[in-house]
Amino acid sequence: MAEKEALILDMDPGIDDAVALSIALTHSEFDLKLLTGVAGNVSVEKTTANLLKLEEFFGRTDIPVAMGAKAPLKREFKDASYIHGESGMPGYDFPALTHQPITKDAIEAMVEVLDNAEQAMTIVATGAYTNIALLLQQHPEVKPKIKRLILMGGSLSGGNVSSVAEFNVFTDPDAADIVFQSGLDITMIGLDVTLKALLSNQSIKDIAKMGEVGAMISGVMTAYNDAEGDGKPMHDVNTILYLLHPEFFTVEDHMIYVITEGPAIGGTISDFQDRWSSGQKNSHVAVDIDAKAFEDWFLTEIPKMNAAKAANQ
C-alpha cells in the first residue's frame, strides 16, 4: 500500500474551499496534519470556524485547526462575502461547534508540524497566501521541510476581480510576491483551468440526492454566487484533484512575477518572451484541464465521502 501524502491545508472557506476540504478530509491517500485559516473569502474568524464545522461534519476532529492572519501584509482587508455569503459557507445548516482551534497561531502550528515531520511535506494553499508568506519571512529555516506548494490562484489569461488579477493573489499581492520569489517548488493552479472545471447545474441538483454529503455539497454550491456558463467553477477543488490526478492537467513551466502596485495590482505575469528572467522558471503553471474528466471524477467521489463520513462517526 502506497504511503499517504502528508499535507498542511491553508484555506479561507469559502464554498469551493469547503468542497475541496471535504474531499481531502475523506480521501484515503491523504494524511492531513494541520488545517490553517486565513482572511480571504470572509474574516479569519469565520474561515477558521468553517474549517471546524467541516471537521465535525466528517468526524475528523483529530486534525488540529489553527487561526492565521486577520489581514493582508500591507493592504486593507476586503472579503468576498458577496460571492460566499456572510458566513462563507451558507446553504447548509451545520450544528453549533463543539470544539475550538488550538491555542497556537497558524505560523507557530505550521513550524511545529514541519519541524516534527520525518520527510518534507506538501502545503496546499487555497486562500490568500498571507500565512505562507509570514511563515517564510519569520521562519526561513523550515523551507527544506516544504516539499512543494500547490497554490490555487493567479491567471495567465485575465482576472476575476480586475482585468488581470485573480482574487487570492489580489487579496494579498505582497504575500504572493514573497511566495513566488521563495525558490520553493510551486504549482500554480489558476483561472486558466478553474474556470473550465465546472460542476454543471444539473449535477448540483443530482448530488443533492446522494446522501448526507451530497445534500451538504449541493446546498453550499447552490448558495455559491459564482457562475460560469451552465455551471459553477470549483476553483479550489482543482488543487486536490491535481494531487490525485495530475494527468488531467496540462502544465507548463513559467517565470511568474506578481504585480504589487498600480492598476495591474495582483496580476501574475509570465515572462513569455524571456526578456527579464534569463531562462529561469519559478512555477509549474496549469494551463488546461480535461473538464469532463474533472466532473466525472467529482461525481464518483460523493459516495466515497459518504462512506468515509459513516466510518468516522
Catalytic positions, please?
Answer: 235
| Cα 30 from Cα 218, distance rounded (Å) | 24
**In terms of C-beta density within 10 A (0-12 exposed, 13-18 middle, 19 or more buried), how is residue 134 classed?**
buried
Candidates 263, 72, 250; CA nearest to 159 is: 263
Cross-strand bridge partners of residue 151:
125, 188
d(CA 82, CA 45) in angstroms, rounded, equals: 17
Q: How far apart are CA 6 and CA 1, in angstroms?
A: 15
For residue 133, give every residue at least 6 positions away whose Cβ sits within 8 Å of its Cβ, in sequence order, or none. 73, 172, 174, 175, 176, 178, 179
Query: From the DSSP assignment, how many helices (H) and strands (E) are in the chain?
Result: 12, 12
- Give the DSSP letter of residue 165: B
Q: How many CB atoms lie within 10 A of CB 270?
A: 19
Number of Cβ atoms within 10 Å of the Cβ of 278: 8
